Structure 1
């Protein structure tokens, strides 16, 4: 059966309530810059459940990172994997999107693919493979979320950035790794054009 069209009004109301609740529970420090790791730690404290932030690159040992973000909810903790080969802003937006899935109580559906099982075995090697396969239908989200859940998670990220006064997270593009000599040219151009943070272009 096809999913019903996404009601943007209903999604906005649900997401806005969730963001209000998070902001009430995690008040901003006046004048302090936003820090995603600190925000995750405080959200974990608010929820009474650990959130582990893990970069995928080192865990994949040189293999290409297959997705920007991945949320895995295990019985004792939530694991949020992110692509560490992108710009800091793109990375933070992917993390906030996955936090949206978490806060909004989304769960994936459908049968796990063999690729998903292999990926989980690499990212969480201490887990029993049989347990991984049993959990994947609800724990691994990227390919299993509905359109409504993806819309809500993206709304959550965008609205939370806005309410926290953080700019520039809505038009982010992934970055491409340049050769060192090309990177120097781009950095020089950025300086000439007045860019202040070449790391975050």
Structure 2
């Protein structure tokens, strides 16, 4: 299917087709989904907080594929619900098979290190090359995962997180 000009209905059907390929863990936790995807892909998937807050020049999340592992960087200075959504958006890129520039494992992102090199991460963030359509696809997959998982867990407890979930269309008011 040519995904360049998807309507919202086509985009939703595309996202649902992607999600038919995975089983959401029960109970649902983003970390459990990351483990399941790592197993499915046969390579580790590591989560890292970003070394700085996001802003105009730095997105709130990014997926970086090295030769041997996937790394998802996410903004830590936000609510748990928003953090989960950021991670799920990056998982959406992985599940959709979007291309991402690969970095050698010598880049400072190797799994054995507790810290990442902030300069490497900043450089990698600037190298992301997703199209607007890829962003829409990843966002749809993230929203569909949240929508589906919503039936498996309690609604967010904070007013801000309930508002955010409602705005994203993944929880009912």
**Aligned ranges 1:50-199 → 2 under 5 Å:** 50-56=44-50, 60=51, 63-65=52-54, 66-108=58-100, 124-125=116-117, 140-141=127-128, 144-164=129-149, 165=151, 167=155, 168=162, 169-171=165-167
How large is the RMSD of aligned CA atoms in angstroms? 3.4
In structure 1, the residue matched to 2:15 is 15
In structure 2, the residue matched to 1:35 is 29
TM-score after normalising by structure 2: 0.67
Which structure: greater helix fraction?
A: 1
Task: Report the Cα distance in structure 2 between the residues aligned to 1:163 and 1:92, rounded to whole angstroms.
Answer: 14
C-alpha contact (below 8 Å) 1:54/1:79 kept by paired residues: yes
Task: Report the Cα distance in structure 2 between the residues aligned to 1:102 and 1:86, rounded to whole angstroms.
Answer: 23
SS in 1 for 2:72: strand
SS in 1 for 2:167: coil
Where structure 2 has 5 or more consecutive residues not aligned to the other structure, the ranges are: 102-106, 110-114, 156-161, 169-173
TM-score after normalising by structure 1: 0.59
Alpha-carbon offset, residue 124 of structure 1: 4.5
Task: Report the Cα distance in structure 1 between the residues aligned to 2:70 and 2:86, rounded to whole angstroms.
Answer: 15
Between Structure 1 and Structure 2, how many residues are aligned? 141
Q: Deviations over 1:166-197 (max 9, x none)?
A: 5553526xxxxxxxxxxxxxxxxxxxxxxxxx
In structure 1, the residue matched to 2:171 is none
Where structure 1 has 5 or more consecutive residues not aligned to the other structure, the ranges are: 110-119, 173-201
Alpha-carbon offset, residue 9 of structure 1: 3.5
Larger Rg: 1
In structure 2, the residue matched to 1:192 is none
